[in-house]
Structure 1
Amino acid sequence: MKRDAIKAALLLSGGLAAFTTPAAAQQARETEMQEDRPGQIIVTARRTEETVSDVPISIAAYSQESLDEQGVRNVDDIANITPGVTLTRGDQRNAGAANIAIRGISSTAGSATTGIYIDDTPIQIRNIGFSAFTPFPAVFDLQRVEVLRGPQGTLFGAGSQGGTVRFITQQPDLNYVKGYGRTELAFTEGGDPSYEMGAAVSVPLVEGRLAARASGYFRRDGGYIDRVNYINGNMVDKNANHSDTAVIQAALAFEATENLTIRPSIFYQDIDIADGNYFWETLTDQSAGDFRNGNALANTSSDRLLLPAVAIELDLGDVSVFSNTSYFDRDQSAVNDYTVFEASLWAGNPFFPEGYYAPAFQNNQQKNFTQELRLQSNDPDSRLQWVIGAFYSRNKQVASQLVQNTFLPQLIQDNFGITVEQFFGQGLIDGKYSFVLDDARSTDEQIAGFGQVDFQITDRLALSAGLRVSKTDFDVRAQFVGPVVGPPVDDTGSQSETPVTPRFGITFEPDDDNLLYATAAKGFRIGGYNAAVGVPCGVSPGAPIPGTPLGNIGLSNRPELYDSDSVWSYEVGSKNSLFGNRLNIESSAFLIKWDNIQQSVALSCGFSFTDNLGSATSKGFDVAFNAAVTGGLTFGGQVGYVDANFDETVRSGPSAPLNLVTDGNAIALNPWQVSLYGQKEFNIADKEGYLRFDYRFQSKQTDATAGRDPRNGGADLTLPGRPELHLLSLRTGVKTDILDVSLFVNNVFNTHKTLFRQHDTQTSPLYRATTVRPRTAGITLTARY
């Protein structure tokens, strides 16, 4: 711990030296839009530059400055401050697993429900193996983050049926030298220090023609959960759940002619997690902030991604052309501790014997090629604004999993009195593996054409219409063997669809400071193919095998195909600037109908399949506001409410004894989410001082969720829903023309509430849970020039 603190202090002092060097004067240029709407963020939600207040969509947009002011460092923080957005890190074995949802459109089956973009490239993943999850870029050297609520199926396509989160990187400046840096040192109560250092510089190589920007960033999040030997209490790894994030970005801007700009870029990120954030409730004194897990092995994760891209912009006067070509290469690997799971499953006792361990080696790879070409109007004074485009992607995924359990034969012998060969019909693979998924390979290929037109009928009234037609093809092959499988499975399949996603809107501006809008939009995600399940599940060429997992629900095999599911969203909203732009309010209300939902059906044999089961309705509202009061005081925030429920009772098979979901069950989320801030600016020694608070509230999840309804299979009343949560952060600092030095405290009241609670089998007495990072205090230095 002392070595980490010394290293962190050196990084902090190095950052101070690096960013107090005098820099060339910076010439700021306000765009015409920002002059009309001072202080507002420019976004490209409709593929053209507009201020947030001019876009008839519910958007939460954060500039680099606002992200720094709120201490945002990752996607978890973005979800925390954005009502309507839910991020779940719910896998108690894979340390990096995460699932993001917007307005209750949430599913871990099939492909993603939320689009994740780095600039113009989608990076979300399909779940074809085990513990596949979408990656998220770190929050450093970003121009802005845009959270687009509601389906974005017309302009952003598949996977954006709940909404889209866009991470927009900074670009080189052709005329000026610019720099940005951030360094931080923080201490978590009962844990190790956290520290970071990052720097970015943009340099014109040939003024007005060629410029380069490069940045590097490293962050260590110190651990606060100890891994111990649960039998004797001996320390195995103090503050085990630390993680490292490293990011390198580079970009060029080349103005080849007066009308042609070429922007090649590369984004690299590597996240290494030493252990997961779950603790054992039986070993933990939660009220005292003493968190421990007794896992036999650390749940490690390594997630590396590389994204080279080339963006080309051509200005043809009244028409502009944009092209984005990219290749996304990702490799996520993990060693997941299956010891408790295996002991619970085969011995009925999660508290495994001394020396017992069962690692699962998991790997998920993505290699995605994406090409988008757009033509769009370029005359802001024209009554007709339009964009048309074509999109192509070919996404390849490879997933593998090897579960090593050399203790399984003894476990079976001790509990059933027979050999593992007698119990399963075969022994371990290579003498050590109970399950081997050998390279499940899939290819998602998509080609789409899209367009949108906005017509200004009068100076105050505009109509909008858009359409996207996609052709999607999905192919998969899965091979798996092992005693828990039965005879080896080698299965292939394919799925093809042609989804159509329209969008309609009307906008009315009674004056320059107020905008009213209404939209109807459709979103979808691609269907897929279910790989075959093993013989222990009851696979039969004829009638269902009685007494087997499949037979118990009236099936003789899994359904081979599942179709795309879709949403129709209806939204009304307003954006208002009052009292000479001193108060800005953005509000919207929505109703979403989700049909043919892709849901995962888990079988007690250890396998699962995806099927289209049922429908749901999500409704609610969100309000964002900011106010400049008096005397340097600003106040603002966001309030959101989401009520999402299943509309019908669904069973996983015709003879299933219990429901998969029951009519009226709620989708798991926190209905109310509130994010508030206040900042007071004052003079201190001829410098600009400030004091800021950020407050977050989320209401308790309703008890009527599918997972807590005894009429549903797998329901477990011992697992509490998402809790009510109050979190307060404070920050105070001093700014100069270049530097911003601040002190902060996060989780001021040191809240230790349980966020998620899980156990491996429904009868297991061992529960693992997560909580909020304990109180953390530190110092941040930010520089801009």
Structure 2
Amino acid sequence: MRRMAMQKLGYLRSSLLATCTVLFCSVPALAQDATDEDTNQADARAESQTPPGTIIVTARRQEESLADVPISIAAYDQASLDKQGVRSIDDISQITPGVTLTRGDQRNAGAANIAIRGISSTAGSSTTGIYIDDTPIQVRNIGFSAFSPFPAVFDLERVEVLRGPQGTLFGAGSQGGTVRFITPKPDLDFMRVYGRAEVAMTEGGAASYEAGAAVSVPLVEGSLAARVSGYHRRDGGYIDRVNYMSGEVLDKNANHSETIVLQAALKWQPTETLTITPSVFYQDIDIGDGNYYWEDLSDPDDGEFRSGNAVLNTSTDRFILPALAVELDLGGASLFSNTSYFDRKQSAVNDYTVFEAALWTGSPYYPAGMFAPAFQNNEQQNFTQEIRLQSNNPEARLSWVFGAFYSHSKQVAAQLVQDTFLPELFFNRTGVPFEVVFGQGLVDGLYTFVLDDARSVDKQLAGFGQLDWRLTDKLTLTAGVRVSQTKFNIRAQFAGPVVGPPVDDTGEQKETPITPKFGVTYEPNDDLLLYANAAKGFRIGGYNPAVGVPCGVSAGDPRPGTPLGNIGLSNRPPLFESDSVWSYEVGTKSQMFGSRVSVDASAFYIDWQNIQQNVGLACGFAFTDNLGSATSKGFDFAVQAAVTNALTLGGQVGYVKAEFDETVRAGPSAARNLVTEGDDIPLNPWQVNLNGQYSYDLAGHDGYSRFDYKFQSEQKATTPALNPLNGGSDLTLIGRQELHQLSLRSGVRMDAFDISLFVNNVFNTHKALFRQHDTAASPLYRSITVRPRTFGMTVSARY
């Protein structure tokens, strides 16, 4: 069966390569054979294309050209996302310098953490704002496995990545920046159709495929329209789950995933000045297993990736987002309201078998028949209401926006670690009954640890405003401020033998953060913009629930020999405050040679103070505290050029250096550092993206061939986890690795259709990007890599 599958794969690979080769190699011949009339038509098509830098964005809460916005933004419309084969937030992070996405949890299959310009943390609230239209959907980490959701990339009008703090217009959670997924609105006058289908094969893995369609129809011309879309994608797996002792395949290509997205919107314009748009966004992602493979069972050079986990690391992430947008034109101003409710349920079954075996027996290679799943659940119910009043005369000397924002966000987290084998494992190793040491047995005879419904509520009420005053036709000053009242409360209940007596604790935190912004913009002519900004961003603080008795809790002085006592504490700090950044940025945006060349560049310096950081205790608990400061600095540069009427070239370069400014210990007498001065925040310092597309006549139709190259540099500097001074003396682990990826696509446009063949990861890169193991002495390493070489065909349609 395997030989037949490999023969089929070889045939498909050869066919796709041959077709791609014909299309790519035919470019010069077809271009040479084209008639003068064909050439003139191609020139006319190229001249009619939208010049670089004219994507319309709403980064300042009003529609304006990307080239006119004096902040660092990467924006991608639907056409450019399709050209580059972007399907997920992972792809967006790879084509956007300054953005880091980490899928580093070796157990939770869906976990991801996103950061912009090095402002990265897994403690407390998210450092990056995630928006669908005007609704924030990011999560706070109140349990052990919370992570923010991300919409799939289909039927999106555009994606905006706003670098740097957006504390004035977007508020908490946008400390490092904001990623906005903007959905298309129904068209009142014309019928619009968009569709995309794809099939692909990954070397050594299973097939992937997708199909989706969107239709916008005027129901009452000029007054009422509807838009609906549906999308399904399956990403085939390429990692087999096997019996690590016998090698028997238990689950072939286990790490597959399914994504379903449904959208619907109604646009009603009862009068010329009033527009009402109700909408709903639904998404469901199901993952069959995690993307980590066991190094000692795999042979990446031969395309063989295997995992010996006892339990599949499954994950289900579902959310629904109904929203109501209302816009009223008041003449010289517009009143806008957005009301939304975000309801999300994420659950996972994570394999703790290796961890439990390594912890209690000293060997990660668990006995035959053992299994120890952890059941993790996270829920969000977020109600948000925002009202804005803003000027809508772009020619006015004074432009302004004022608004109010309210959110009520509930979260529920639960985790149950099941290990019925633990008492026997413990006795076999120590000769002492489990209950004697821990004072109790398993909870309900099943669980070693239970986090039973940690429930939290974040409330935020904010007022904000921003003014842009054109002193002259060339010089504009900007000033803005946001004042927020935040309140956080939580109740957490812990139980289990590793916890000691059950813990049930409740607490709250209140703050009033203020985040100003100042800027100056100079436009010497219509093709050049220079800007400088200073802005503050913040992240809401919180409350640390109590830790268990085994941690060394006492009412008096610290007790030596206990996890808390060893760091000079008698208890965890109940409260942690918001942390904040001040960002200083200068940049330029320019158009040259009749808008055939666009350049976008910026440099930044960010001062991050009072950083919320997790402090892990040997007793299994952790708390968050404000510890230390960091500095992030760097630049990003992007250029897009229409070299000829048929050839376009582009490139982006970004560099980020983010490091801690001081040595910080978890407590006054901690034996090791939490971070050491000079430690780098984990990221890939250099990011380079190059792309090019050549258009030509192909049998009377518009043919094209393009390449997209992505490079991320290795992080050679020491990070906190790898610094021996922080207890990170395990030099067998690796930091973020260098990555090269090349994608090729060649296709033809025929009226409304675009048919193309593609190859992703042409060089079949399979370097281990991350490596982890459960304990420092464990010989078992688990690693993650990029998807192997993938061949496929895409068909899209626009009408």
- TM-score tier (shorter): over 0.9
Q: Give per-residue Cα distances to partners, 1:336-377, cap 9 Å, x unaligned.
A: 000011111111111100000001111000000000000000
After TM superposition, give the deviation of residue 37 of structure 1 in Å: 6.0
* Contact map agreement 2:52 2:596 (CA 8 A) in 1: no
Paired residue for 2:334?
320
Paired residue for 1:31?
none
Q: Give per-residue Cα distances to partners, 1:595-614, cap 9 Å, x unaligned.
A: 00000011111111100000
Residue from 68, 72, 76 that aligns with 2:82: 68
Paired residue for 2:212?
198
Q: Give per-residue Cα distances to partners, 1:615-635, cap 9 Å, x unaligned.
A: 000000000110000140000
Q: 1:124-135 alignment to 2 at 5 Å?
A: 124-135=138-149
Paired residue for 1:728?
742
Paired residue for 1:13?
none
Paired residue for 1:639?
653
After TM superposition, give the deviation of residue 737 of structure 1 in Å: 2.2
Paired residue for 1:700?
714
Q: Give per-residue Cα distances to partners, 1:24-47, cap 9 Å, x unaligned.
A: xxxxxxxxxx99966621000000
Paired residue for 1:583?
597
Q: Give per-residue Cα distances to partners, 1:274-302, cap 9 Å, x unaligned.
A: 00000001101121110000000000000
* Contact map agreement 1:391 1:448 (CA 8 A) in 2: yes
Residue from 376, 381, 401 that aligns with 1:367: 381
Q: Distance in 2 between matches of 1:776 and 1:219?
A: 15
For residues 225 and 373 of structure 1, do their structure 2 counterparts lie closer, same or farther at Cα, with a shift above 3 Å needed? same
After TM superposition, give the deviation of residue 716 of structure 1 in Å: 3.0
Q: Distance in 1 between matches of 2:721 and 2:677?
A: 13
Q: Give per-residue Cα distances to partners, 1:726-746, cap 9 Å, x unaligned.
A: 110000000022000000000
Residue from 97, 110, 114 that aligns with 1:83: 97
Q: 1:257-296 alignment to 2 at 5 Å?
A: 257-296=271-310
CA RMSD of aligned residues (A): 1.5
Paired residue for 1:22?
none
* Contact map agreement 1:37 1:51 (CA 8 A) in 2: no
After TM superposition, give the deviation of residue 381 of structure 1 in Å: 1.3
Q: Give per-residue Cα distances to partners, 1:610-666, cap 9 Å, x unaligned.
A: 000000000000001100001400000210000001000000000001111111111
Q: One-letter code of the match for 1:741?
A: I
Where 2:413 maps in the other structure, the secondary structure is strand
Paired residue for 2:223?
209
Q: Distance in 2 between matches of 1:302 and 1:70?
A: 27
Q: Distance in 2 between matches of 1:39 and 1:563?
A: 40
- Alignment of 1:547 with 2:561, yes or no, is yes
Where 1:711 maps in the other structure, the secondary structure is helix
Task: With the length of structure 1 as denominator, give the TM-score of the two structures.
Answer: 0.95
Residue from 358, 366, 388 that aligns with 2:372: 358
Paired residue for 1:30?
none
Q: Give per-residue Cα distances to partners, 1:365-406, cap 9 Å, x unaligned.
A: 000000000000011111000000000000000000111110
Where 1:415 maps in the other structure, the secondary structure is helix
Q: Give per-residue Cα distances to partners, 1:293-312, cap 9 Å, x unaligned.
A: 00000000000000000000
Paired residue for 1:25?
none
Q: Which moved more, 1:337-346 or 1:217-226?
A: 337-346
Q: Distance in 1 between matches of 2:729 and 2:99?
A: 25
Q: Distance in 1 between matches of 2:443 and 2:328?
A: 58
After TM superposition, give the deviation of residue 470 of structure 1 in Å: 0.2
Q: 1:445-524 alignment to 2 at 5 Å?
A: 445-524=459-538
Q: Distance in 2 between matches of 1:333 and 1:590?
A: 39
* Contact map agreement 1:438 1:478 (CA 8 A) in 2: yes
Q: Give per-residue Cα distances to partners, 1:399-423, cap 9 Å, x unaligned.
A: 0011111001101110111111112
Where 2:571 maps in the other structure, the secondary structure is coil
* Contact map agreement 1:751 1:774 (CA 8 A) in 2: yes
Q: Give per-residue Cα distances to partners, 1:454-506, cap 9 Å, x unaligned.
A: 00000000000000000000000000100010000000110000000000000
* Contact map agreement 1:666 1:702 (CA 8 A) in 2: no
- Alignment of 1:179 with 2:202, yes or no, is no
Q: Distance in 2 between matches of 1:759 and 1:224?
A: 21
* Contact map agreement 1:521 1:570 (CA 8 A) in 2: yes
Q: Which moved more, 1:341-350 or 1:34-43?
A: 34-43
Q: Distance in 1 between matches of 2:491 and 2:54?
A: 49
- Alignment of 1:164 with 2:201, yes or no, is no
- Alignment of 1:245 with 2:259, yes or no, is yes
* Contact map agreement 2:521 2:530 (CA 8 A) in 1: yes
Q: 1:308-457 alignment to 2 at 5 Å?
A: 308-457=322-471
Aligned positions, number = 758
Q: Distance in 1 between matches of 2:290 and 2:174?
A: 29
- Alignment of 1:230 with 2:236, yes or no, is no
Where 1:599 maps in the other structure, the secondary structure is strand
Where 1:626 maps in the other structure, the secondary structure is strand
* Contact map agreement 1:299 1:334 (CA 8 A) in 2: yes
* Contact map agreement 1:466 1:503 (CA 8 A) in 2: yes
* Contact map agreement 1:392 1:446 (CA 8 A) in 2: yes
- Alignment of 1:651 with 2:651, yes or no, is no
After TM superposition, give the deviation of residue 702 of structure 1 in Å: 2.1
For residues 503 and 177 of structure 1, do their structure 2 counterparts lie closer, same or farther at Cα, with a shift above 3 Å needed? same
Where 1:287 maps in the other structure, the secondary structure is helix
Q: Distance in 2 between matches of 1:609 and 1:702?
A: 29
Paired residue for 1:713?
727
Task: With the length of structure 2 as denominator, give the TM-score of the two structures.
Answer: 0.94
Q: Distance in 1 between matches of 2:515 and 2:732?
A: 41
Q: Distance in 2 between matches of 1:387 and 1:36?
A: 29
After TM superposition, give the deviation of residue 715 of structure 1 in Å: 4.8
- Alignment of 1:40 with 2:54, yes or no, is yes
Q: One-letter code of the match for 2:635?
A: F
Residue from 59, 74, 77 that aligns with 2:73: 59
Paired residue for 1:26?
none
Where 1:452 maps in the other structure, the secondary structure is strand
For residues 36 and 703 of structure 1, do their structure 2 counterparts lie closer, same or farther at Cα, with a shift above 3 Å needed? closer
Q: Distance in 2 between matches of 1:148 and 1:444?
A: 24
After TM superposition, give the deviation of residue 161 of structure 1 in Å: 0.6
Paired residue for 2:45?
none
Q: Distance in 2 between matches of 1:714 and 1:599?
A: 16
Q: Which moved more, 1:276-285 or 1:541-550?
A: 541-550
Structure 1: state its 5+ residue gaps.
Answer: 10-33
Q: Distance in 2 between matches of 1:675 and 1:656?
A: 43
* Contact map agreement 1:706 1:715 (CA 8 A) in 2: no
Where 1:660 maps in the other structure, the secondary structure is strand
Where 2:426 maps in the other structure, the secondary structure is helix
Q: Distance in 1 between matches of 2:738 and 2:416?
A: 39
Q: One-letter code of the match for 2:374?
A: A
Structure 2: state its 5+ residue gaps.
Answer: 13-47
After TM superposition, give the deviation of residue 548 of structure 1 in Å: 1.2
